[in-house]
Amino acid sequence: MIRINTNTRIAIIGGGISGLVIAHRLQKKGYKNVTVFEKSNILGGKLHTIFYRNKSYEMGALFGMPCQKHLKTLMKEFNIKADGPKLSRVNYDIKGNEIMRIPKELLGDFVRELNRLPDVLVKYKSLEKINIHNIEEELMLPFSRWCEINKFNVLKTVYAHYITSYGLGHIEIIPAVYVLRILNYDNLMSFMELPDFCTWKDGVFTLIECLSNKIDDVRLTQNVNSIHITENKTILVQTDFGLDEFDKVIITSSYNHFKGLFNDKKMLFFMDNIKYQNYTVYAFITEKVPNKCGFVLENIPMIRKGHILIWNSRWGVSSDKELVMVYAYNNPKNSMETALNIIKDDLTELGFHNSILYQYRNWHQCPYVDSSILREGFYDKMETIQGKNNVYIAGEIMSTITMDNCIRYSNYLVDSYF
């Protein structure tokens, strides 16, 4: 058994779910000097609940799935109930007409492909591990190519609906390893059973509130600008308010400010090649919201970037004013005004009138590296630097997205290295 020094001073950069789960688990293990640095004035990162007329709405993560056991365990620990509204889903064309997700004539193929999927997935041992490691060559290919090789022609379309609509990118680019870790067989099946999803009446922030109440030293509005290793192998964390000394540091945010830590050409090359999705969430005040969540399937192809992918009316039909949340990829060529006008035109086509923008959020989410960088050994390299100079890395690039994956990887990091 590893003997731990409970006086070790540990800094965690980022107060999203990854950072908070790490802090909580370290404290539970007995560490007494755990500090979370968060640049924003609130914790939570991409778990970001807002309120309008006393009702909660989500600008970031919306739901958990019944099969996500790490999320469920965390909820159980804090006695958090999934007491939020039920989700629903209807597929639309761009004119707002309801359409079938898969044409009727392909339903038979769909069922056959779905039945074959577990037998194909079982051969990829790397998918079973918590840390991404020894990725099989086929999984490094873009997901659409992987589907073609494995003859999943209908599943490819179904996956694209979820992957692209929920901001994970386009399957012609994103390597299969990410798609299949985020939407494994169980998660895919859960997606077919939307009514069982967990949501929370007071929003997903409920999880953050419970976690943060347990953490002794949380420092808000303290953007970490840089991190330095001293000659004595201690670590100096620099914020605008000064320097603090630690023995170990765990980075859960992006690494842009901290490249200086990795005095290694290959590592710097890898860091420069981490890409993000530019995913935008608009909250509109609107009237007579329909009781549904709509997927606009015709906007999934890359050429339709900037158009609405999903709209979500969380609380259902109401005669009062409500918020409708709208999701789209940000087309970097467009100004904010142009981008908003495209969305407003789409809303009108879909049947929403006089929508007023209440709030907006552009996320850099779903970090990934492309097939060529995976082939160069990105994740094997990331693994070798864990703990070097007492610096550790966690967060979405290591865990892949979803709250459940972030919780799982955060627990793994603490159990493996602390």
Q: Which residues bind ligand FAD (CB under 6 A)?
A: 13-19, 37-40, 45-47, 60-64, 167, 223-224, 252-253, 257, 279, 281, 363, 365, 395-396, 401-404, 406
Q: For ligand FAD, which is the closer residue by CB, 270 or 329?
A: 329
Q: How far is the CB of 325 from ligand FAD (least distance, A)?
A: 9
Instruction: Provide, rounded to whole angstroms, the least separation between the CB of residue 97 and ligand FAD.
Output: 26
How far apart are CB 1 and ligand FAD at their closest, in Å? 29
Q: Which is nearer to ligand FAD, 59 or 154 (CB)?
A: 59
Instruction: Please state the closest distance from residue 279 (CB atom) to ligand FAD, in A.
Output: 6
Cβ atoms of 361 and 49 within 8 Å: the answer is no
Of 63 and 311, CB closest to ligand FAD: 63
Name which of 81 and 151 has its Cβ closer to ligand FAD.
81
Closer by beta carbon to ligand FAD, 61 or else 147: 61
Nearer to ligand FAD, 306 or 395 (CB): 395
Residue 40 neighbours by CB under 8 Å, 6+ apart: 15, 220, 221
The nearest distance, CB 272 to ligand FAD, in angstroms, is 17
Min separation Cβ 348 and ligand FAD, Å: 23
Longest dimension (CA), the chain: 68
* Residue 8 or 223 with smaller CB distance to ligand FAD: 223
> C-beta of 248: minimal distance to ligand FAD in Å?
16
Output 120 or 407, the one with its CB closest to ligand FAD.
407
Q: First CA to last CA across the chain, in angstroms?
A: 11
Least spacing, CB of residue 64 vs ligand FAD, in Å: 6
Torsion angle in degrees (nearest 10) through CA of 72, 74, 78, 84: -50
Q: Count the alpha carbons within 13 Å of 105 in the hemisphere toward its beta carbon.
A: 0
- Based on CB atoms, which residue is closest to ligand FAD, 15 or 203? 15
Residues with Cβ within 8 Å of residue 246, at least 6 apart in sequence: 9, 10, 11, 35, 234, 235, 236, 237
C-alpha–C-alpha distance, residues 390 and 392, integer Å = 7
**In the complex, minimum distance from the CB of residue 171 to ligand FAD, in angstroms, rounded to a whole number:** 18
Q: Least distance in Å: CB of 361 to ligand FAD?
A: 8
For residues 39 and 248, which CB has a smaller minimum distance to ligand FAD in the complex? Answer: 39
